[in-house]
């Protein structure tokens, strides 16, 4: 059975919380951003690479429209259906 593959290049997508372009454009709300570096009593710096990580939360909802691929300023996304 064919299904969606969403690949995120983490070498390119380093500050997803500051960017969020794919999250905002995706009509299916497939993506989520996780805070992976929390420090007590300190707000996480969204511009610090590696503080947040983009993840695929609802990959099965993806319609392979490629809006996110086109919106990404650093070409970090690849979406295929196979
Ligand atoms: S291809 Fe379309 S539906 Fe799939 S994650 Fe990207 S924007 Fe969302
Ligand atoms: S649009 Fe690209 S750089 Fe921006 S959060 Fe999404 S994958 Fe990362």
Per residue in 11-69, pLDDT tens?
999 999 999 999 999 999 999 999 988 888 888 888 999 999 999 999 999 999 999 99
Rounded to an integer, what distance in angstroms lies between the CA atom of residue 18 and that of residue 34?
A: 12
Query: Closest ligand 1 atom, CA of 66?
Result: 1
The answer to whether the beta carbons of residues 6 and 30 sit under 8 Å apart is yes
Cα four-point dihedral sign 12, 13, 19, 25: positive
> Considering the domain 4-81 in this protein, what is its CATH number?
3.30.70.20
The predicted model scores a pTM of 0.94
Mutate to test the pocket of ligand 2, among 18, 21, 55 (most ligand atoms within 8 A of CB): 21
Model pLDDT, residue 37: 86
Model pLDDT, residue 44: 86
The DSSP output letter for 81 is E
Model pLDDT, residue 41: 86
Pair of tokens at residue 17: 């919380």
Ligand nearest to the CA of 60: 1
Rounded to an integer, what distance in angstroms lies between the CA atom of residue 82 and that of residue 72?
A: 22
Q: Where are the domains of the chain?
A: 4-81
Largest CA distance in the chain: 48
The answer to whether the beta carbons of residues 48 and 15 sit under 8 Å apart is yes
Contact 6 CB / ligand 2 (< 6 Å): no
């Amino acid at each position: 059975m064919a299904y969606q593959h969403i690949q995120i290049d983490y070498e390119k997508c380093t500050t997803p919380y500051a960017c969020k372009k794919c999250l905002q454009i995706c009509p299916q709300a497939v993506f989520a951003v996780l805070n992976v570096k929390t420090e007590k009593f300190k707000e996480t710096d969204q511009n610090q690479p590696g503080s947040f990580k983009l993840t695929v939360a609802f990959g099965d909802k993806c319609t392979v429209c490629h809006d996110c691929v086109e919106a990404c300023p650093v070409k970090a996304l690849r979406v295929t259906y196979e």
